Amino acid sequence: MIKCVLLFISITMFSQGYETQKYEVVKKLNEIEVRFYPPVMKAKVSAGSNFSRLFKYISGNNEQGEKISMTTPVQMTNQDNVNTMEFILPSRYSEDNFAIPKDKNITVYNSDPGHFAAITYGGYSNTEKVKKYHSLLLKKLRESNLEVINSKPVVLSYNSPYKVFNRRNEVLVEVKY
């Protein structure tokens, strides 16, 4: 009984109501999805303290002093040992109406559309899980004869660090489709 109450409290306290980036599933290959992502406005930083910088930006550290709603997923990449974190801006923003960052290390841009293959995993993400699921994703894509455009993993995290159960993480790679 106590476990049920704790589970209910955890689910209630840590459920999320964030806007999530839209995509279209164009093909399913067992646990792999090939998705089309339309363009969206993103804020990115590669300057250290990435989450803190982006969080300050959406909390009002921008030229307009505007508070921007948190969205999902948070996107992370590592290119040439440089970690980059990106927040998806709410869908109401465009190139004409986004809040200009005060932090010059933050870049706001409209992403290019593209096709990505995705594999989902649960729990808290870490380097070992990313490597494991990235390797599995690439293996499944080779077996399915899908051409990978960029094999560098894009890691997506959908949950607050406080959410304990039913966490969603993904590894994506860009594919030709």
End-to-end alpha-carbon separation of the chain, Å?
50
Taking 70 as the pLDDT cut, the residues of the chain under it are 1-16
Who contacts 4 (Cβ-Cβ below 8 Å, separation ≥6)?
none
pLDDT at 6: 36
**Domains plus CATH for the chain?**
21-38+113-177 (3.30.200)
pLDDT at 5: 36
The rounded distance, in Å, linking the Cα atoms of 113 and 40 is 8
pLDDT at 16: 57
Would you say the C-alpha torsion 121, 81, 53, 87 has a positive or negative sign? negative
- pTM, 2 dp: 0.87
Name the residue among 149, 147, 148, 155 with its Cα closest to residue 172.
155
pLDDT at 3: 40
pLDDT at 77: 96
